[in-house]
Chain A
Amino acid sequence: MTTLTTVPPTTSAAPLAEPPAHFRDLLASEWIKIRSLRSTPWTLALTTLFVIGSAAVAALAENNTLKKMSPAARTDQGFMVFDAFPPAGYMTLMLVAGSIGALTVVSEYSSGLIRTTTMAVPARGTVVLAKTVVTAALWTAVGTVISTGGFLVSQAILNTNHAGVPLTHPGVFRALAASALLAPVCALIGLGFGALIRHSAATVVTSVFTLLMLPPIFSQSAHWSAAVSHAMPVTAWKRLVQNWPPDPHSLAYSATVPGSWTVYALWPLIAVVLAVTAVRHRDV
């Protein structure tokens, strides 16, 4: 049996002058991947319309209630946050952002494109980081449009009853920021699950279960259970949007504002660290 391992190295054509590897090239590449899918603009447009629409519907319903109130009671309502940021709309946003975030990774595994990508860029961890940055940037932009749009539309509707508040109202900015950032937080959590699970259906189910189904299981009345609930992104979002302090006489445990921001930071951070680690160590 012949082996040819001892052949002297022949003049193998050296690769042509290779430009330095820039991270921004990977960002551009991932951005091309996202925008070249026809489903991307449709999904983003429909989600934006739905969430803003849900704020409009909530504000219109509120208007009907307000009409039955005395004019004095009407002006006393302050900032009606859950008209501007209706949970039903934002849970839908979480669902879509989590799923699309997951698909940015999983669609590469299910199609096999990940092998083509990895042959082009053997530095796999860097690819995950580029996906992270592009996903975070895209969903922060979409989230900002949605939260600002929903706020402005709902307040314009409430203003017909003189019940709207301006952007400068106390607590509005935090609510806007928390609502805008909810989308990238969920998208990155989905991305992390995608890199760990690598299977489309399983990833989407896991993301949706973790983000939306799991939190209501934990009540606010027992300490440990409340602690778990407060560690969930959806609970953190509700606490950050809410502009009144928790009732000190309530028997329920209440999440804190700094704690909720920490939850916002830690979930995506852990998701991305796990994703990079898994992708670097597993066979593609």
Chain B
Amino acid sequence: MIEVNELTKRYGGKTAVDQLSFAVRPGQVTGFLGPNGAGKTTTLRIILGLDAPTGGTATVSGVPFRSHSRGLRHVGALLDAGQVHGGRSAVAHLSAIARSNGIPLRRVDNVLQEVGLADVATRRIGGFSLGMKQRLGIATALLGDPPVLMFDEPVNGMDPEGVLWMRRLFRRLAAEGRTVFLSSHLMSEMENTADQLVVVGRGRLIAAESVRDFAARSTRLSVVVSTPRTAELAAVLTAAGASVEVEGAPDADKLAVTGLPADRIGALAFDNRILLNELTTRTASLEEAFMELTADSVEYLAGQPR
């Protein structure tokens, strides 16, 4: 259980996190989403006691993480896969960290096996690819068998096989009753992994709810209709109060209809003897809901002076 309450962090005049409150519960994978610069990493750093908040509190299992003298058995975290010394081997790196928490060294072999780095255990980390470093970071997080796990952008640099493996790992960790908190700026990743979402933009909370509820927020729920007689159908539907747009290429004979449910559209077409080739209700993708909700809070927008 991670609880963040009225958390604020200012660096000089810039507010990175602004009165942020949310909770991350055990037994689920919770996605932490926001555009670049939304304050995700800062929030994770404060939860992990690396940065002191300007205001508010962050606790893990009811206490501030910094109050522990050793951390690995309480929280396992991967903030940045680059946070290793390239001159050491994977096994030496993990041994030093395990030893500091009194974790037996056979656990190092176990986690290396688990993340698939057993074969390169004695190679220098400096020669690892980003994906391998991500795996090493996950191995570090797993060392203490902790009840709470936090990962910042874990799929960066992973190959498709690695992404699948990681997704299964997160689901399994959650199924074991652990709290799993993943940050990402890619909604599509969360769609496949997370149960719950915490969405932030410019340091403020935008949403904290289930993935399904979040997707339903989008106003872009629409029905796609395909018919040879697009102009006629568009006129009928508009008369019935829907808004109609041409979908896809202009000659594709497809319309995107919002404001009317599919059964109503089907009935109207039938009444007017218009042939339908396709009638599909399209739930907005998470990506669209995300883009829509964070549109006002994108920190770095290409091509537009702010």
Contacts and interface: CB of A to CB of B under 8 A. Distances in A.
The reply to whether chain A is a binding partner of chain B is yes
A37 B84 CA distance: 12
A38 B124 CA distance: 10
B276 interface: no
A9 B1 contact: yes
A12 B97 contact: no
A141 interface: no
Given A21-B69, A122-B49, A5 B23 contact: yes
B22 to A, nearest CB: 6
A118 B148 CA distance: 16
Contacts of A213: none
A69 interface: no
Interface in B133-151: 140, 144-148
B68 to A, nearest CB: 5
B74 interface: yes
Contacts, number: 157
B83 A121 contact: no
Nearest to A6: B23
A123 B74 CA distance: 14
Interface string A33-49: 10011110000000000
A217 interface: no
Central interface residue in B72, B83, B92, by most chain A CB within 10 Å: B83
A108 interface: yes
Interface stretch (A56-64, A109-117, A204-212): A109-117
A16 B104 CA distance: 14
A19 B93 CA distance: 21
A112 B82 contact: yes
Interface in B39-97: 45, 48-52, 61-62, 65-75, 77, 79-80, 82-89, 92-93, 95-97
Given A7-B25, A116-B140, A122 B65 contact: yes
Contact of A283 (B50, B72, B84, B100): B50
A25 B92 contact: no
Interface in B11-52: 21-23, 25-27, 45, 48-52
Interface stretch (B202-210, B244-252, B282-290): B202-210
Given A5-B23, A37-B88, A115-B80, A22 B102 contact: yes
Nearest to A7: B23
Nearest to B24: A4
B177 interface: yes
Contacts of B88: 33, 36-37
A12 B85 contact: no
Contact of B66 (A33, A122, A126): A122
B202 to A, nearest CB: 14
Contact of A119 (B23, B71, B87): B71
A233 to B, nearest CB: 29
A65 interface: no
Contact of B100 (A7, A13, A120): A120
B89 to A, nearest CB: 7
B8 to A, nearest CB: 14
Contacts of B254: none
Given A119-B71, A283-B50, A25 B99 contact: yes
A26 interface: yes
A214 interface: no
Given A39-B87, A120-B72, A123-B69, A4 B208 contact: yes
A168 interface: no
A245 interface: no
Interface string A71-82: 000000000000
A160 interface: no
Contact of A111 (B62, B83, B145): B83
Contact of A13 (B26, B77, B207): B26
A12 B51 CA distance: 25
A112 B83 contact: yes
B280 interface: no
B102 A19 contact: yes
Contacts of B74: 15
A18 interface: yes
Interface of B: 1, 3, 5, 21-23, 25-27, 45, 48-52, 61-62, 65-75, 77, 79-80, 82-89, 92-93, 95-97, 99-102, 140, 144-148, 176-179, 205-209
Q: Which 3 A-B pairs have the closest CB atoms?
A: A36-B92, A112-B83, A29-B100
